[in-house]
A and B are shown apart, each in its own frame.
Chain A
Amino acid sequence: MTDYKYKTDLPVLLPAAKRLARKDERDAIWGFGLMRPSGRQLSVFAIFLILITGVAEARSPDNQQGIISILIEWTPFLFEGFLFNILISAMAMLLGTVLGGILGLMQISLIPSIKHSSWFVTQFFRNSPWLCLLFFTMYMLPFEFDLGFVVIPFPDWLKAVLGLSLPIMANMSEIVRGAIQSIPFGQWEAAESLAFTRRQQLWQIILPQCVKRMLAPWMNWYAILTMATVLASIVGVNEVMTRVSEVLASTGGRVDLLAPLYFYIMTWFFLYTYPIARLTMRAERKFNVNT
């Protein structure tokens, strides 16, 4: 993909070309090519960081705890919440992908009523705000299901998973439909002329070709979903943002803590989603399809 830049027929240069190509490959994945600080820049940055930390610590009055030590003290508590966010995102993605796959296949159905109704469902959930859908599942679903002989509890976080999976479902449905329609029609015809049934055509010829086209947008939606999981705090799920406000309350509502604390959480999300974004870009380039 990138090694064409370093093509050479001089044997002396071969190892160097290989090394450069490898470096490019690495940069493409991790994006360090964008910002690769030199030793001097790094040390300037480190001094800057230490200075800021020192100022922040020094500025807080003697009887109060410094901001950095508060952040460190509460990190395990916050990190547990963050892991819960990741769990919610994974479950919502799983549910949304399965439902969206089914809905997407319904959209290319040959039966008009199924085709149109699934199209409407897709458009409706695609164009509704995430937060509204979250409120929708929170308020409209019961907190437990009474089946007569057994009562199944239905906690808030499960409702949040359901609410977050709805927009994912709709967008996955569009991705599946788009991918299937992007396969040249000749593929269907060729399969048909080889006497494949429609189900066989879909499962053995068309869908295997779709998978790699769907990979990049699928990963992109996972990143978006991960960032949307904090919405669950608004409807009262005990995840990282809820815990942030608990930390704020327990440290006595200090105003100078607000910006560092939110920035701290933003960094975590960045560290989690940025590699995903880079991998998505790489997948896009590798499969060379426009999404």
Chain B
Amino acid sequence: MEAFFQSFYQLYEKTGINLTILYDAYDRGRFVEGIETSIWLSLSCLFFSLIIGLVGAWLQGSNHTITKRFMQAYIQVFRNTPPLVQMYFFFFGVGVLLPMGESEYGIPEPMFSAFTWAVISLSFFAGAFNIEIFRSGIESVPKSTIEAAESLGYTRTKAYLYIVLPLAFRVCLPSLTNNMVNLVKTTTLAYAIAVPELLYVSNQIWSDSSNVPEMMTVLLLTYFVLVGILVWFMNRWERKLKLPGYGV
């Protein structure tokens, strides 16, 4: 393994292509940690944004005008303001207003880390889109289907759980995939509040080793692969869930 890594040092000496992330153990460690942070960040945001989407879609279907209006306001505000400014607002604006916690050595430190704030703000951002997606999915289930379920003796809740939701989920899966891809790409914004994710560590590495073109290529390819894996997985899932004769 070490010989394989060292061959890239020879590549550097011969051609000038400086891939420090392969032959330099320190850079390699940093880069791998960056990938891990990015993946972890993406997964947490995906999880929380899905929950926000589901709860929000349910709240939006409620009969209370105030709840509906509140959800509408939340969706419109988060959809129509820049995610970067939202992140700054949460991290700098709300972050300083919260009381300080204490680290294990008794040193005061912020209650939430930059990573947590990134998860919070990105989840709210992507959640606003998810609510709309889920709602449109639920609305796309024909009324006659629900009536058919009722005539078969389903209660409202059961019809919702067994008939509406499974169909709605299939309808909104393509747009959900789109939004997830968007979310993974948006995690790069965490760079701005110094979360050590992929872009941030890449920036550190190319500043230290001055190998901007190589790192830039590696960076773009890494994101290409990460997004590719997500899309591949979602498409497979979509095919698996496909009902013959339903949807496009």
Contacts and interface: CB of A to CB of B under 8 A. Distances in A.
Contacts of A31: 76
Interface in B37-90: 69, 72-73, 76-77, 79-86, 88-89
B81 A129 contact: no
Contacts of A209: none
**Mostly helix, strand, loop or mixed at chain A's interface?**
helix
Interface in B82-128: 82-86, 88-89, 92-94, 96-97
A132 B220 contact: yes
A31 B15 CA distance: 60
A266 B89 contact: yes
A129 B80 contact: no
A252 to B, nearest CB: 14
A128 B82 contact: no
A162 interface: no
Interface stretch (A44-52, A95-103, A228-236): A228-236
A131 B191 contact: yes
A277 B191 contact: no
A278 B245 CA distance: 34
A202 B232 CA distance: 33
Contact of A129 (B79, B82, B188): B188
**Mostly helix, strand, loop or mixed at chain B's interface?**
helix
Nearest to A131: B188
Contacts of B223: 127-129, 132
Interface in A216-272: 223, 227-231, 233-234, 241, 255, 258-263, 265-266, 269-270
A233 B199 CA distance: 16
B186 interface: yes
A263 B69 contact: no
B24 to A, nearest CB: 20
Given A124-B224, A128-B185, A270-B80, 15 more contacts: A35-B72, A127-B181, A128-B224, A129-B187, A140-B216, A227-B83, A241-B88, A259-B92, A262-B93, A263-B89, A263-B93, A266-B81, A269-B80, A273-B80, A277-B76
7 contacts: A127-B231, A140-B213, A230-B84, A259-B94, A259-B97, A269-B81, A277-B76
Interface of A: 31, 34-35, 124, 127-133, 135-136, 139-140, 223, 227-231, 233-234, 241, 255, 258-263, 265-266, 269-270, 273-274, 277
The 6 closest A-B pairs by CB, nearest first: A259-B93, A227-B82, A262-B89, A129-B185, A129-B188, A131-B188
